[in-house]
Amino acid sequence: MKLLTSLLRASLDSLRDLTPVVLVVVFFQFLVLRQPLPDHMGLVDLGVGLVYVVLGLTLFVKGLQLGLFPIGEDLAYAFARKGSLAWLLLFSFALGFGTTVAEPALIAVANKAAEVVAAGGIIPNDIENQSRFAFQLRMVVAVSVGSAVVLGVLRIFKGWPLHYLIIAGYVIVLLITTVAPEEIIGIAYDSGGVTTSTITVPLVTALGVGLASSIKGRNPMLDGFGLIAFASVMPIIFVLVFGLVLT
Amino acid sequence: MQLLQTLYSTLLDVLPIAAIIFGFQYLVIRRRVTHLPRVLSGFGMVLLGLSLFLLGLEQALFPLGELMAVQLASPAFLPELVDGAQRHWSDYYWVYLFAFAIGASTTIAEPSLIAVSIKAGEISGGTIDPFMLRIAVALGMAFGITLGAWRIVTGTPLHWLVMGAYVLVILQTLRSPRMIIPLAFDSGGVTTSTITVPIIAALGLGLASSIEGRSILLDGFGMIALACLFPIITVMGYAQLANWLETRKKRTTE
């Protein structure tokens, strides 16, 4: 019973996320475009799809809160206090990698990217090559997020200022952009934004805040944040290099 | 059938993080998981939820984003052209308005943003108003998406815009109050939620495919990148403004 009410509350949250999108689309469709939906898109299909989205996101987030987040956060705190730097770094990498592989937005965008790249003739246009490209892209992004978390943890340990590292990251991005194939640039820049959402942000933030509060002289507010910032620059670099290797 | 297939591929997606969490728990920390049944049912829900979400994405969110892009950029909807005239980028004003509306409306109510902005208000000691901070992030996001739409319409190379934004970010970083910097950088990543990203991606790809002379491969991506960068700029800008107002107020009262 308690689970049911909390599920209901969670579905209201997902609904609140979706409502602005639906309102804006409805407003433009019927007041600006003043057109009915095209024939190939059934209203029922759309409605069912939106119900899937709300239901799916609700179950996903609730499941994360029941299963993954409590252990993940406990582990993050345990490793932050354990004192062994090698284990901490290994765990940081694994955490960044694992959460990124399961990130819904990345799965969706990688599949789209594979379709577009195949249609553009960069890779052979069949299902097998598309899914291989999507898989490789996601692995590259996941490895990059893993390394970003490792770098972020090292930063908290050593007390390096965040902005110098970010600026260095930006410079590297711009330098590689000049040699990377044109077709990968958009995908690479976008992959920085899609990696950091539902699963990655809470777990990685828990690691950062746990770490900053267990080291003397670190302010959790100042040093705990900023891990996400690395996780949105590193994938750009890695995917640009991936594009270089691919062509 | 489709659900089964999605369930299977989702299982492979969730497996690594499950293996990592349980592996570290049992092999390194060597502690038993408390409430194991609850945790396992949580994983089951993650699996089912992710599969449903991905199905719904294909069936509703992607088509909706693409439909809006195609319709708003179709010649039938755009203002009529004088014979032989070239389309000007300003003809696509409804596209920009749509992009702005989607960006602002999805960000302002984002739960994780609300939590973060309240925290930021606390650490700033009242200089930063949480509600204004949320508006700053939403405006940044909306502006980023609008700029992304404009870029697709005009075919401006993405890296020029990104480079400009980077320069702005770096200059602001050097002048902003120190405690806002990590928060500003994180706010860029946090705002792009799981629902917003697919809609924006579909919008960009739809625009690139329906505007003449644009390649879906070269121009279709990049909106998400800009949507992540501009909140950093507006958040630091707001912090600078708030700081400046505060010192001015102090000076006049003294």
Residues 6+ positions from A62 with CB-CB distance below 8 Å:
A6, A7, A10, B42, B45, B49
Report if residue B117 sits inside a domain: yes
CB A61 within 8 A of CB B53: no
CB-nearest to A24 from B24, B71, B101 is B101
pLDDT one-digit tens code per residue, B10-22: 888 888 888 988 8
Give the SS3 label for residue A84.
coil
Report if residue B246 sits inside a domain: yes
Sole residue written with tokens 């992009």: B99
pLDDT at residue A198 in the model: 73
Other Cβ atoms less than 10 A from the Cβ of B173: the count is: 21
Report if residue B125 sits inside a domain: yes
Clarify whether residues B133 and B243 are in a common domain. Answer: yes
The span from the CA of A76 to the CA of A151, in Å, is 16
For helices B196-210 and A182-194, angle between their N-to-C axes, nearest 10 degrees: 160
CB B25 within 8 A of CB B33: yes
Question: Which is nearest to B180 in space by CA: B248, B132, B111, B250?
Answer: B132
Q: How confident is the model at residue A174 (pLDDT cuts 50, 70, 90)?
A: very high
Number of structural domains found in chain B: 2
- Most confident residue range from A227-236, B103-112, B115-124: A227-236
Per-residue pLDDT, averaged over B227-251, amounts to: 88
Clarify whether residues B23 and B109 are in a common domain. Answer: no
**Mean of per-residue pLDDT scores for chain A:** 85
Clarify whether residues B100 and B210 are in a common domain. Answer: yes
pLDDT one-digit tens code per residue, B27-82: 887 888 778 888 899 899 999 998 999 898 888 888 888 888 888 888 777 777 76
Q: How confident is the model at residue B140 (pLDDT cuts 50, 70, 90)?
A: very high
- Most confident residue range from A189-203, B192-206, B223-237: B223-237
Clarify whether residues B27 and B107 are in a common domain. Answer: no
Report if residue B68 sits inside a domain: no
Give the C-alpha distances (Å, rounded to integers) separating B31 from A70, B15, B28, B36. 14, 20, 8, 12
A10 against A169, higher pLDDT = A169
Six token digits for residue B123: 């650490």
Q: What residue of B is the nearest CA neighbor of A182?
A: B218
CA angle in degrees (0–180, nearest 5) for B130-B149-B103:
25
pLDDT at residue A65 in the model: 85
Q: Is the pLDDT of residue B217 over 80?
A: yes
pLDDT at residue A224 in the model: 64
Clarify whether residues B112 and B35 are in a common domain. Answer: no
pLDDT at residue A220 in the model: 65
Report if residue B66 sits inside a domain: no
- Nearest CA to CA, how far is A72 from chain B (Å)? 7
Residue window 72-131, chain A: list those with CB within 8 Å of chain B. 72, 75, 78-79, 87, 91, 94-95, 97-99, 101-102, 104-105, 107-109, 112-113, 116-117, 119-120, 122
Q: How confident is the model at residue A1 (pLDDT cuts 50, 70, 90)?
A: low
Question: Which is nearest to A207 in space by CA: A191, A234, A231?
Answer: A231
Q: What stretch of H or E contains A216?
A: none
Q: What residue of A is the nearest CA neighbor of B191?
A: A197
Clarify whether residues B19 and B128 are in a common domain. Answer: no
Sole residue written with tokens 């107020």: B249
Q: Does A175 reach chain B within 8 Å, measured CB to CB?
A: no
Report if residue B65 sits inside a domain: no
pTM: 0.88
Report if residue B67 sits inside a domain: no
Least confident piece of the model among A136-140, A202-206, B144-148, B153-157: A202-206
CB A73 within 8 A of CB A206: yes
Residues 6+ positions from B38 with CB-CB distance below 8 Å:
A66, A67
Clarify whether residues B186 and B242 are in a common domain. Answer: yes
Containing structural domain, residue B44:
1-58
- Most confident residue range from A71-80, A147-156, A234-243: A234-243
pLDDT one-digit tens code per residue, B145-186: 999 999 999 989 998 999 999 999 989 988 887 777 877 887
Q: How confident is the model at residue A83 (pLDDT cuts 50, 70, 90)?
A: low
Least confident piece of the model among A228-232, B35-39, B85-89, B221-225: B85-89
Q: Is the pLDDT of residue A78 over 70?
A: yes
Residue window 178-237, chain A: list those with CB within 8 Å of chain B. 182-183, 185-187, 189-190, 192-194, 196-199, 201, 221-226, 228-229, 231-232, 236
The span from the CA of A181 to the CA of A122, in Å, is 11
Report if residue B227 sits inside a domain: yes
Clarify whether residues B100 and B51 are in a common domain. Answer: no
CB A68 within 8 A of CB B42: yes
Clarify whether residues B164 and B50 are in a common domain. Answer: no
The span from the CA of B115 to the CA of B65, in Å, is 28
A82 against A79, higher pLDDT = A79
CB-nearest to A59 from B28, B52, B109 is B52
Clarify whether residues B161 and B222 are in a common domain. Answer: yes
Clarify whether residues B104 and B223 are in a common domain. Answer: yes
Clarify whether residues B132 and B248 are in a common domain. Answer: yes
pLDDT at residue B5 in the model: 85
